[in-house]
Chains A and B, each alone.
Chain A
């Protein structure tokens, strides 16, 4: 393995490592615009120029492989001068419209100017004019004047999505990033171009002019949009909520996980969070009396529902009760549900799977047809009909229609997605007691007698298990909306009312209990799951599959 000395410190690195990567291993950040570890290397921005001893010219750190005995300077006067010069060149034709630019605060022109520039402007000439506020696709706006032609977005569309929408047209300082004639930047992953744009050239239609980035707080999480479980950061606006018209979640950004999603996420997941602050959110326990919804306190709701559930079971037996859990729920929520329904109430008709009528979009990259983040977790926890030798969801609906089922407890599902609307109506209208527990109103909730408000994935802590058996953590970014609560707390409270308390105070308590009981999770803890998740035993091969899909 070659040894290299960077700014006086020696390090041994893998063969093929570039200077910029070796420096990173030493904690030295060489500035970069065009270099992105997930894309091919083009060496065009020239900001990463470094001095390598015995080479007459400065070299770009992104492209130069380490050789044994190489001595690199990233910080001497010659390098700093070149870096300042490149910044100055990049900025002479830049509009410097930071006050109205959405990138301000996370702009690498601003950041590197503060770190490496700080010169006085010598530019007195008219700037080159280019096209502004171009609507180039369903999610992306382009300001060509702000573009520094690093070509990251072009390479993303060429190399990652292979959709080839973007090009750089014209020559010299009139060179301009644009979609090819007649094309739009419209692919399943287009939002990533915004993430990797180091400046304000590509901005997000969904985020433009909504909030300044310095008001945002970031919370690590996992996308609940499908079973891949892409790692994300939830960006939420806690500091000036009144400026956002009640919208607390400003955007989702992919978070690097080498095993799952690398640097990327799909648009479906990226823009799929709007239900969190939507008007359809259920914000308090509700009860339907004579066809009208009426709010009630949690205390009353728990009392009434617990009593009615008990009555039903007493009167008609456990076989007259159906429970439909959801793979949208965390492992913790599912485990608490299982404790409650199976142990406290001794029910058998417990299932979670509702096959979607319309198959979800799937590709060989990140998007999976299963649009649930925790199907694998639900399977592992044993909450399917098979595990409980009870009725499947379809059978429950059939039994309901025949009036043999007297109570149904439905978590999160909109049954309409799996069954014909009329079918669902016909079944649910025959059941005496329908309890819906979920985040948003839907057809199913409208057909229920009681609605209990669940917190959404950005409002809770917990874990999901992705398709490959990787357990990953989600973190609470904002408080549950209104009166909504995490599912596990609702089940804990119901259980307590029925005389069986569950000693859980934090999601971690639920997880630890789960670990004790479910073999697949043996030995795990929140600490061990860490930043990038952990594969359950027996899933090593699946992990390779995950990577295979990305590398292929």
Chain B
């Protein structure tokens, strides 16, 4: 059994409470940091650990923190992105439920590193129980002096606030999240300025994903090298893989960065149900380009997946067996992005709806031969031309599903029905 950092708490009773967390070595890192470390030393340590942004973009976390301007007279903020909404992704929910104070400790260390005295957890509106847990545990932390004025008896003040989203996928995009946090409509902002320069309330802001911050205490406690060595080259540490679809044991698995996809599916998730074969695998949330069975030996880290034109993203793996109709699967994915497009900029607003309608028509048996190329063209015309990555997220599946399963689309158009058994 390989090493566990976060998921070892999944099986401990009341692991979300301060007492249990501290019994297992919790809040040692923050005490150490507040006594002896400078913010620069923390940033260096996190950089050396090769901790990447685990929300999906994979941007090196330490480097991101270093972008906070040193001499700005404005207050600095840390914003924790807990708007986990990418289909196939549910790891942050596990972190919040079971490693609540681990997350808080990461928040404290990061806030100290960037000079923020206030941090906001922006949590997905549907995560009702998780929001309640956060509020309750934050209160407990305040009571113990772990949050508020002079935390842990140091000179450092930190307030932590939970802000619930209203149910929009787009608010997981960091600038839309900041708009929403300010009480505005969740519309992504033009960049630059980047949030590190001008984020929430026009002040320097770092936005980090829940999982990213949850690994920070361990890095401080065990050292950068020990964390970096757990993963693969330039992809430090472990990662929480969410796996769902036609596998025997769906769930969250904490494994080293770079674990082969095949191993995750067959060894950890118990292989496919009913002994079926794999037809396709989504490796990193529904927006990542889909993989075929001959591609599942890929190592699950940011660089290896990029090398085969896909992406690790949120590491939300969705396994589809041979009974899956790829046209329908793409329709479901496209319908989602259409529903969630914010409507601010033209290509995504109009293109997602158009693609969904074309796919629906093909599914209904009214496809036209030119529809297939048109779908790809719609996707090509969205990609790279929008303010935020939602456009790409909608377009990438269209491109990859059609490219890799073109015969299925052609069969649908030609015969007006599906050639997959059971459809």
- Where the two chains meet, the residues of A that have a C-beta atom closer than 8 Å to any C-beta of B are 41-47, 49, 56-58, 60, 63, 81-82, 85-86, 88-90, 92-93, 122-126, 128, 148-149, 168, 170-175
Contact = CB atoms under 8 A, between A and B. Distances in A.
A89 B342 contact: no
Contact of A125 (B341, B352, B361): B361
12 contacts: A42-B344, A43-B345, A81-B381, A85-B347, A93-B353, A122-B370, A128-B353, A149-B349, A171-B339, A171-B343, A172-B349, A175-B344
Q: Kindly name the residue among B185, B339, B344, B386 whose own CB sees the greatest number of chain A CB atoms within 10 A.
A: B344
B369 interface: no
A81 to B, nearest CB: 8
Given A172-B342, A175-B343, A63 B349 contact: no
B349 to A, nearest CB: 5
Nearest to B373: A122
A95 B100 CA distance: 52
A125 B357 contact: yes
Contacts of A171: 168, 170, 339-343
A173 B384 contact: no
Given A122-B374, A128-B353, A173 B341 contact: yes
B101 interface: no
Given A85-B381, A89-B351, A124-B368, A44 B358 contact: no
Given A46-B346, A90-B346, A172 B339 contact: yes
Contact of B190 (A63, A86, A89, A175): A63
Contact of A46 (B341, B368, B386): B386
A174 B185 CA distance: 15
Nearest to A87: B346
Interface in B218-246: none
Contacts of A170: 343
Q: Is the interface of A mostly helix, strand, loop or mixed?
A: loop
A85 B385 contact: yes
Contacts of A63: 190
A36 to B, nearest CB: 16
Contact of B343 (A41, A92, A149): A149
Contacts of A57: 384-385
| 3 nearest A-B pairs in the assembled complex, by CB-CB distance | A175-B343, A85-B381, A89-B350
Interface string B380-415: 010011110000000000000000000000000000
B357 A44 contact: no
B345 A172 contact: no
Contacts of A42: 190, 344
Given A45-B345, A85-B385, 5 more contacts: A46-B347, A81-B381, A82-B381, A89-B349, A175-B343
B354 interface: yes
A169 to B, nearest CB: 9
B190 A46 contact: no
Interface string B324-351: 0000000000000011111111110111
B341 A172 contact: yes
B347 A44 contact: no
Contacts of B350: 89-90, 92-93, 173
Contact of B385 (A82, A122, A149): A82
Nearest to B338: A172
A250 to B, nearest CB: 32
Interface residues of B, number: 32
Interface of B: 168, 170, 185, 190, 338-347, 349-354, 357-358, 361, 368, 370, 374, 377, 381, 384-387
A182 B387 CA distance: 32
A365 B349 CA distance: 36
A125 B346 contact: no
A44 B387 contact: yes
B348 to A, nearest CB: 8
Given A89-B381, A175-B343, A43 B353 contact: no
Contacts of B344: 42, 44, 149, 175
A45 B338 CA distance: 18
Contacts of A41: 190
B394 to A, nearest CB: 10
B381 A172 contact: no
B346 A148 contact: yes
B343 A46 contact: no
A31 to B, nearest CB: 12
A170 B339 CA distance: 11
A90 B347 CA distance: 8
Contacts of A126: 357
Given A92-B350, A125-B361, A126-B357, A172 B384 contact: no
Contacts of B370: 122
Given A43-B387, A82-B385, A122-B374, A173 B338 contact: yes
A123 B349 contact: no
Nearest to A90: B346
B346 to A, nearest CB: 5
A179 to B, nearest CB: 16
Given A173-B353, A175-B349, A49 B385 contact: yes
Nearest to A128: B353
Contacts of A49: 385
B303 to A, nearest CB: 18
A63 to B, nearest CB: 6
Contacts of A149: 343-344, 346, 349
A150 to B, nearest CB: 9
A125 B354 CA distance: 8
B353 A86 contact: no
Nearest to B357: A125
B345 A46 contact: yes
B384 A125 contact: no
Q: Kindly name the residue among B350, B354, B358 whose own CB sees the greatest number of chain A CB atoms within 10 A.
A: B350
Contacts of B377: 122
A45 B346 contact: yes
Contacts of B358: 125
Nearest to B186: A171
A148 B381 CA distance: 18
A49 B368 CA distance: 31
Given A42-B190, A122-B370, A92 B354 contact: yes
A89 B357 contact: no
Nearest to A45: B346
A125 B374 CA distance: 13
A128 B358 CA distance: 14
B347 A172 contact: no
